[in-house]
Structure formats: structure tokens, C-alpha cells
Structure 1
Amino acid sequence: MSDFNKRRSLKVLALSLAIAASGVGTASAQDVTLRLSHHLAPGHLVDVASNRFAELVAEYTDSAVSVEVFPSGQIAGLRQGAEAVQIGTVDLVWSDMGTLGNWRPEYGFVSLPFLFADNDHFAAFFEGEGGQQIGEDLRNNLNIEVLGFGNAGFRVVATRDTPIRTPEDLAGVRIRVPEIPVYVSAFDSVGANPTPLAWGEVYTAMQTGVIDAVENPAEGLVNGALNEVAGHLSRTNHIMTDVNLFANAGKFDSLSAEQQDALHRAAETALSEFNVATAEASEEYWNQLAEVMEAIDDPDRAAFQEAMAPVWDEFISRTGNAGQAWIDMVVAATPE
């Protein structure tokens, strides 16, 4: 069990004992239905994890708490979902720290290009002091209860017509990016034309030539069928993608201590399985794309890292000591 989850379990246990001693009633007296939103297609590993989470919540609460999963942005897209979970119009959402940077710019640190060396480095940060600090910050600043952290893998670039071997190859290319400031800065730095666009609009935009390229983990490209509208693929590995399960803190607090613990335990299992599945499937998804696209497995990543380095300076200039502190914490995180 990670340090983050150990500390959380102790807090929940203390709360359970306090409630038992006081005899105060909670929401456990009636059944609860929670709505979970994500922007990805059915069958994506995030969707699989969502349904696994819902199954475990029902099991752990004897069906007193049920979770309804709404995929494909049915309720809200990525940015809209991140806002909705803060204000409580959705109970649960999958989102990332970069998107939360729209409200607290320093949270965009996770999306800095070439910040994480590999999966082990990512795990060392999120399962240790970094994850614990994020949990406390999001509750205090954005009314979010963190249920778990996920690693969706490194991002690659798919283009309609242009092979991408060096940063110069992206000059003038209209590339879809998430509605995240750090992503815009990263592709500005290589002379591309970054175009924020909701994920559900990407396929048509690529098909019609509104955009020339898209960047995403290989799984996202496969599930979005982007290979049908893009001919070239480049394994730039420019940003590692976090995808995390968040709850509205007010809704979470309205549950009994036992139900809160059930949500955390369900999330810990679902996220653990998700991270293992993503790591195992990453190469498989890349290979699926490479079978039908012109794939460049070894672009000049050192050149991309050098070209995108000014994004770090811009980020620190914009976020000050708060942004620098998060970067320092990531750099100090050491895999066991």
C-alpha cells in the first residue's frame, strides 16, 4: 500500500471511531447513487477501470452505494468535467493535473515535457510524498477528494501527411492539444500551431483537415480510431499522462465513514489494475498503430527535449515558488 493510501486509511479509521463513539447518523441510512463522468470511449482502459470501480463500490457497500458510469463525455468533456467535480454538478470524474492548472496554474507541473523519466519515477512521486501533498492541496483549494492516481503512459504524435523526426518537422503543423496551458506552450516552443480541442471533435477535425496532427498515448489513438485519418506516427514520448479519479469533496463528506473507506479501497484496486494494464498494453497499442501507419520509433527525443526546455522556465515564471516546489518534489522522487 502506498504512503498516500496508508495515511488515508488511518484518517478514515479515526473518523469511523469518532462517529461510532458519538452515535451520529450519516448518509448510510439510505442508498446513494453517484455519477461518474469521463471523456473517453467505452472499452478504453479508463472506462474498464470505471466499471471495475463501480463493481467494487457496490460489493464493499452491499449495494448501498451505486456508481453510474457515463463515458465519451456524455455528461462533460475533460475540462468541463474537472470544473463540474469542483462545484458538485458531477460526483466523480477522471481528470488530470494539467487540466486543473486552468484554475491553479501550478498544478500544470505534471504536464511539463520530459519531467518524468519512466513509469517507476511516476509511481515514486504519486505513491509517496507527492501524492499525499496533492491530495491535501486539491481538497483545500479546489474542493476535490483524490481517490487515486493513474498513469496513462507517454504521449506520441500522429500526423495526416508529415513524418515527425525532429522538432523542425512540426513547424506550422496544426496539432490538437488538450485544453491545458502547458501543452499549448510545449507545442508553441517547437513552432507548431497548437489547437485546443475537445477529444470528441478530434476525429472529424483530422478527417476534414481542420487539424493536421494529434498527440496522445497510443491507446487513445487506437480507441479514437485516429489511424483511419492519420498516416504517420512518431514515438516522441514528450509528456507522461496522469489520469486520476476525483470526487467532489462535499459529496464525499456526506457519505458515512464506512462508505468513504469503501470508495477509497475500490479506487485503490481499480487504479492499481489500471496502471498494470496500461503498462502492459502500451507496446501492444503502439504495434497496432505501427501495422497500419508509417511509424518512427526513434525520433530525435533529445532535440525535442532541448526545444521544449523553455516551457519549464515559462512555467516557473508564471507560477513562481509554488510551481518550482512541485518540480523539485518530482525531481527528488526516487524509485525504490
Structure 2
Amino acid sequence: MTKGLAGRTAAAALIAGAMLVAAPVAAQQKVQLSYHWGPTHPAAGFANQFAERVTERSDGALDVQVFPSGQLFGIRDVLGGVASGAVQVGMAVGIVSFPPINSDYNVTAMPGMFDSFEQMRGFFDETEAGQALMQDMQSKTGIRIVGRNPVGPIAVFSAKDDLSSVDSLAGISARVLTDADRVRWGALDAGSTVSLPTGEVYTALQNGIADTVSTVPGALSAYSWWDCVKSAQLPYFQFADAYIIVNAAWFEGLSPELQQVVTEVGAEITAESTAAIMDASAQMLDRLEAEQGGTVFELTGDELAKMNRIEREQIYPGLTEMVSKDTLDAAQAYTQGD
């Protein structure tokens, strides 16, 4: 009898020990993170850091695997990938992903509305209208925003040699990515527009299907567009923010401790990427000139006044049709009192 009891006790100890060993393995989750940027894009580096830090600080409980360069989802469909649960985490460019859900996000494309990433985010974080807009998009799609990873300020880049004036944009063949792009190029008398996802722009520039793009400086090296680009036109006219988004159901299923890891890392990446993006963009323009032989033009004086007039009289009114009066009024009140 004693021998039988000892045998049962030993067996129970073995089972308990096996359960203790197996517990961490069972708790580990393979988490997929998708983004479309090329490996040298500044935002790609911060996306990778997000994955590395979450994996490390969760002690491997969340094993974040990165799928870059649109391997799983491109710039236009990453939001759907996260919303559906096909991937748990994604990097979504706001002006591309959000207007189809709530067109009021087009307020970020209004020329002169916001003068920095910080001011634009302040509208969304601090005002009732901005908060409601962001909450509406999250609730409609089943995502949660846990951080930001700015793509950069937007300028014009072209295979043409001369972008020294507003009139130099007339007749160009412009790549468009959003409805706001169409409004802007229409007002600037573009000869034609062609809708292209990021992965098809290089070939279009090579073949002359498109010769001009409005984009962030980081895209030049990330997708090798500067092989074709010869000139840039400043000033910047928009601030393109990207959002670290997670599937809401997945996030809510995590333990409070793991939720805290995700949100804390998201906050860190937001702060660090925002602090770095403007300098990184300026350095890319310097490289365009020094390494690629391009020319960076900046509109000043009468030419800047002419661009501002077109933005005020044609582009701005065209975009107001995409934004509700309440959101537009709230944004104007916030920025004018900022």
C-alpha cells in the first residue's frame, strides 16, 4: 500500500512538473505585424523596434513576427487585414486607410490646417470632435490604435528637371493615392492622373506612366524612386501620420499585463519616431541632391503666394466637400487658438 501511494505521488509530481514546463509554451502567441514600407524607410525601422520591444518585454509571450514591404498587406489593405484578424498588428497610413471609413479624416489634407504632427494629433487627442472621429473609425473597424509612427511631411517629387514654379506642375502625369490627391492635382492643372499602389510606382516612373508623385522624402530611398526622380518642390503641404493598429478582439483577449506592454511600447515608439522624422526627411532631401544629382526647389515670394492662393481658392474648397462642417469648424477653432 505504501509502495502504491509512493508511485501515485511520484506520478502526480511528474504530471505537475510537466504542466509547469508546458505553461510558458502554451501562453506564447505568434503575433503577425504587417507594413508596406521598404526596409530603409524611417517608419520601417520604428515598426521593427515596436516588434522587438514587445517580444522582449513580454518575455516572449508575444512573439511578434514582422512582414515588411507589403508581403502580407499593402498600403491600401492593411487596415482590412488587421480588422479581419488575418494579422494582429499593422501600420496604417491615416490619409490612405481612414477616409473610406470616415471621410472627415480628410481634414488632415487641408492645406495650411495643421503646421506639425503635434498640432494635428492635438486636434484628435484633445478636442471632442477629434476624439469622436477617431473613436468612430476604431469602433466601425474593430481596431485599436496603440501608437503612431509618422511617415513624414509630404512634398512634390518629379522626373522633370524643373519644379521651380507653380506653373512647372501644369501638364505633369501625377500618381494619386487618395481622393485628396485628385483635388490637389486638378487645381494645379496636372495633365493626367493615375491611381497606383506603392509597389507599382517605380515601374510607372521608369516607363513614364507617371512622372510626378506627392510623397514623403523617406519613400525616395525606401522604394528606389530616386533612381527616376530629378527634382523636389517645397514647402511641405501635409503631414502624413501612420498608426500602430491592433485587432481589438485580439487585444482585449490579452492579459492586463500584456496589454500594458503593447500600449507602453506604442507610446515609446510614438515619441521617438516623431522626434526623428523631420530630421530624417531633411537628410533625405540632402541625399537626393548630393548622391542622386537632384535639385530641391522651394517656392518663395510671388511663387509661394501663387501656390497659397490656389490652395485657398481651389484646393481648400474642394476638400471641404469631403469633411463635415462640424469637424472643419472644430479643427479651425483648435488651430487658430493653438
Alignment TM-score, normalising by the size of structure 2: 0.82
What's the CA shift for 1:261?
1.3
For the pair 1:249 / 2:238, whether they are aligned, the reply is: no
Aligned residue among 88, 100, 104 for 1:91: 88
1:308 aligns with 2:311: yes
User: 3-state DSSP class of the match of 1:319?
Assistant: coil
Letter paired with 1:101: P
Q: Give the total of aligned pairs.
A: 307
Contact 1:28 1:256 in 2 (8 A): no
Please say if residues 153 and 278 of structure 2, whose CA atoms lie closer than 8 Å, have aligned partners that are also in contact. no
For residues 290-301 of structure 1, the aligned pairs below 5 Å read 290-291=289-290, 292-298=293-299, 300-301=303-304
1:76 corresponds to 2:87: no
| Alignment partners' CA distance in 2, 1:259 and 1:104 | 30
Q: TM-score, normalised by structure 1?
A: 0.83
Identical residues among aligned pairs (%): 23
Post-superposition Cα deviations, 1:283-308, rounded to whole Å, max 9, x if no partner, equal: 21111012210221335333223213
Aligned to 1:149: 148
Tell me the amino acid that sits aligned with residue 200 of structure 1: G
Shift of 1:169: 1.8
Paired position in structure 2 for 1:118: 116
Distance across 1 between alignment mates of 2:329 and 2:183: 20
* Residue deviations 1:164-215 (CA, integer Å, cap 9, x gap): 233322122111132x211221211211133221111111110111101112
1:72 & 1:270 partners in 2: Cα distance? 20
The 8 Å contact of residues 78 and 198 in structure 1, kept in 2 or not, is answered as yes
Aligned pair partner of 1:184 in 176, 182, 185: 182
Match of 2:200 in 1: 201
- Partner SS for 2:321: helix
Q: Deviations over 1:238-262 (max 9, x none)?
A: 2111111111212211212211111
> Is the 1:184–1:195 Cα contact (8 Å) retained in structure 2?
no
- For the residue of structure 1 that corresponds to 2:31, the secondary structure is strand
> Which residue does 1:38 correspond to in 2?
35
Q: Residue 107 of structure 1: CA displacement?
A: 1.7
Structure 1 residue runs without a partner (length 5+): 1-26
Instruction: State the SS of the aligned residue for 1:114.
Output: coil
Secondary structure at 1:110 match in 2: helix
Shift of 1:145: 0.3
Tell me: CA distance 1:83–1:328, structure 2 relative to 1, closer, same or farther (3 Å).
Answer: farther
Q: C-alpha separation between the residues in 1 aligned to 2:337 and 2:143?
A: 24
Q: What SS does structure 2 have at the residue aligned with 1:78?
A: coil
**Aligned equivalents of 1:206 and 1:303: distance in 2?**
28
Contact 2:27 2:61 in 1 (8 A): yes
CA-CA distance at 1:75 after TM superposition: 0.7
Look up the SS of the partner of 1:237 in the other structure.
strand
Structure 2 portions without partners, runs of 5+ = 1-23
| Matched residue type, 1:243 | A
Q: CA deviation at 1:131?
A: 6.8
CA distance in 2, matches of 1:303, 1:322: 29
Q: Which moved more, 1:319-328 or 1:211-220?
A: 319-328
